A and B are shown apart, each in its own frame.
Chain A
Amino acid sequence: MSYRFDRLRVLIIDDNQHMRTLVSAVLEAFGVDLIFEAQSAEDGWKIFQQNACDLIFVDWVMTGMSGLEFTEKVRTAPDSPNPFVPIVMLTGHTSIERVNAARDAGVNEFLAKPVSSKAILNRLVAVIEHPRPFVRTKSYFGPCRRRRRDGAYHGPERRATDAEPQENIPANAA
């Protein structure tokens, strides 16, 4: 059975109308029925608070609140309606420093520009099939920043407090 993307509510936040139209057209073609669009992170936050969004695409570089700041707000604001919502960062940035900064903000996946339908689909499949555990520390709340478990790595776990993720523990926002 194929995915029922028609059941999803997706929010696209990008201050560039053309990019919003492009991503929206691809999602519609995949069957997504309900797509919210916002031209700023501030507007996106309002939509996010008023609607149960299942997935968010957010641009990094925007006037006002950046995609990075928006992500941090979703993850940690006391009035965030869903701190676990998957967030895909649309970005023209590809340097490792930028990628690390986005991970530190709590982004799930990256979608590098120029975007393609296959790249969008790959990110959708990634957040559906390979969700990462969430981590709560004193300074961070969000998806585990270790990208993937490396099957070839047989050494000791390096984080002193490593623990196996527990299934389905409801947790309050940070």
Chain B
Amino acid sequence: MAKQQPIEIFMPPNILKAKVGGSGGLDSSAIKRAEAAIEELKEEFAGWLIEDVNRLTEMRMTYEAKMDTAALSDLYRAAHDLKGQATTFDFPLVARVASSLCKLTDDTSYGLDLPVQLIDAHVDAIKVIVRDGIKDTTNKMATVLAGELERQVGAYLEKHLGA
């Protein structure tokens, strides 16, 4: 029987609790202040979203020009940022399409010759959703488009990567 490695378990001092003090809780106005802070930022969300979409477009062009690991990683990160933030910016369908693009570009270990047309279709779909201000997750055109992109990514990964 193999000798087991020793495991040390201990509780470090709870410095955080000591610092913030007391019996816990947060005055209820704090959440309201935070919500208000986000509301204030919403005026900037449209500009932020356009910046993120422009960055995605730029990374797509760089990837198509270079077709190397670094460019694909940059493209993935740009898509990943949109996946994480677009819902906050009130564009959940952008997040959905970006998520699909992340799936396509996530793993570079299988090769770099990803279908450029499918990448382009994602980027173009995101640009259309933003251009047309589609914030409603039930928008028929956008949901059909997102669904089709997800289907194509799934088919590509299954066919080429054995996913």
Q: Which residue numbers of A lie inside 8 Å of B, CB to CB?
A: 1-5, 7-8, 15-16, 18-19, 21-22, 25-26, 28-31, 54-55, 61-63, 84, 86, 90-92, 113-118, 120-121, 125, 127-129, 131, 133-138, 144, 159-161, 163-171
- If A19-B84, A30-B26, A144-B9 touch, does A128 touch B16 (CB 8 Å cutoff)? yes
Whether the pair B77, A61 counts as a contact (CB closer than 8 A) is: yes
Main secondary structure of the interface of B (DSSP, over half): helix
A29 to chain B, nearest CB (A): 4
- From B10, B38, B41, residue with most partner A Cβ within 10 Å: B10
Whether the pair B4, A161 counts as a contact (CB closer than 8 A) is: yes
Contact of B37 among A3, A25, A138, A170 (CB under 8 A): A25
Q: Which residue numbers of B lie inside 8 Å of A, CB to CB?
A: 4-17, 19-27, 30-31, 33-38, 40-41, 48, 51-52, 74, 76-77, 80-81, 83-88, 95, 99, 102
Give me 23 A-to-B residue pairs in the complex whose CB atoms sit less than 8 angstroms apart, sorted by A's number: A1-B21, A2-B25, A2-B30, A7-B21, A19-B84, A19-B85, A22-B88, A26-B34, A29-B30, A30-B33, A61-B77, A90-B84, A114-B95, A117-B31, A117-B38, A129-B17, A133-B11, A134-B11, A137-B5, A161-B6, A166-B11, A168-B12, A168-B13
